[in-house]
Amino acid sequence: MTKSCLNCEKTEEEIPLLDLHYQSGKLFICPQCLPILIHKSEKLVDKLPGAENFGDAEHHH
């Protein structure tokens, strides 16, 4: 199976992917989407259950 970014689904053929180890699984994310994981992880909650808890627990307006 071709590895692809969990957010934008670019494959390792198109862009370097970073490994994520999460809940005993393995996921991949590209450098373009990494800031989303860090700062806007709640946007990834569809793909990463619990992602809303990754970042700081700040409230958004």
Binding residues for Zn ion, per CB under 5 A?
5, 7-8, 30, 33
3-state secondary structure of 59: coil
Least Cβ distance, residue 23 to Zn ion (angstroms): 20
Least Cβ distance, residue 26 to Zn ion (angstroms): 16
Least Cβ distance, residue 57 to Zn ion (angstroms): 25
3-state secondary structure of 52: helix
Beta strands in the chain, from DSSP E residues, in sequence order: 18-22, 25-29
In the bound state with Zn ion, the residue whose beta carbon lies nearer, of 16 and 25, is 16
Q: Which residue has the tokens 């996921």?
A: 27
